[in-house]
Amino acid sequence: MNMRVLVLLFLMSLLPVSLFAEEWQQLFNGKDLSGWKHVGPGEMTVENGLIQTHGGMGLLYYTDAKIGDAVIRVVYKMRDKDDNSGVFIRIPIEPREAWMPVHYGYEVQIMNGADDYHATGCLYSLTNALARPGKGSGEWNTVEITLDGPRTIVLVNGLKVTDYTEGQPVPPRKHDFEPQRGPRPNMGFIGLQNHSDADVVFFKEVAVRKLNH
């Protein structure tokens, strides 16, 4: 090893660890579901480099780590105009069935045609959508979910849809399929929902980037 390489390695060792933590880490390798596990009815498969939903209601969750103080980027498209899915966040323990994340985590909704409390980018039934930028029928969408301590910010295609901090008021629960109200942890497991046979959604990217605090 020559002196130039040694000097470069020494200089790299002086860089803060947070610099590397700011880079995007891909959680889906584009080939298979390594690092992921499915619970509940239905399934997820990988076809042509995309995760595809089948049946449901089930959840594919990332098993390798809890995620907090980070930005989660999910790129997806719907087969039809108004297919239903979701990105789950802040799940406190590994789920054993599909309803546990509903009541103990948050669902960032994917569904364009619902009302503002059940629309793409809101925390399902909890927050009122600030914008309606979701695209349907085969168009790619990018969701960026920032978990900053107790604060959750959701951008859909670059527009802010949700900005919620734990403890802020939420509407009362109206249906048994809506989540139980209550605080969620700052860190938790994340997952992708498969909703039903009629709802087909494709995911081509799930990535995470740590916040630089």
Three-state SS at 17:
helix
Using one digit for the tens of pLDDT, what is the confidence trace for 59-107?
999 999 999 999 999 999 999 988 999 999 999 999 999 999 999 999 9
The full set of domains in the chain, from first to last, is: 23-210 (2.60.120.560)
pLDDT over threshold 80, residue 109: yes
* pLDDT score at 9: 42
Using one digit for the tens of pLDDT, what is the confidence trace for 1-38?
554 534 344 444 444 333 335 799 999 999 999 999 99
* pLDDT score at 192: 98
d(CA 187, CA 54): 28
As given in the structure block, the two tokens for residue 155 are 């951008």
* pLDDT score at 113: 84
* pLDDT score at 2: 54
pLDDT over threshold 60, residue 148: yes
DSSP the chain: --HHHHHHHHHHHTS-HHHHHTS-EES--SSS-TTEEEESSSEEEEETTEEEEESSSEEEEE-S--B-SEEEEEEEEESSTT--EEEEEEE-S--SSSHHHHHHSEEEEE-SSS-TTSSTTSBTTTS--S------TT--EEEEEEEETTEEEEEETTEEEEEEETTS--PPP-STTSPPPS---SSBEEEEEE-BTTB-EEEEEEEEEE---
* pLDDT score at 99: 96
Bridge partners of 196, per DSSP, are 199
Using one digit for the tens of pLDDT, what is the confidence trace for 152-191?
999 999 999 999 999 999 999 999 999 999 999 999 999 9
Mean pLDDT of 107-119: 93
Bridge partners of 83, per DSSP, are none
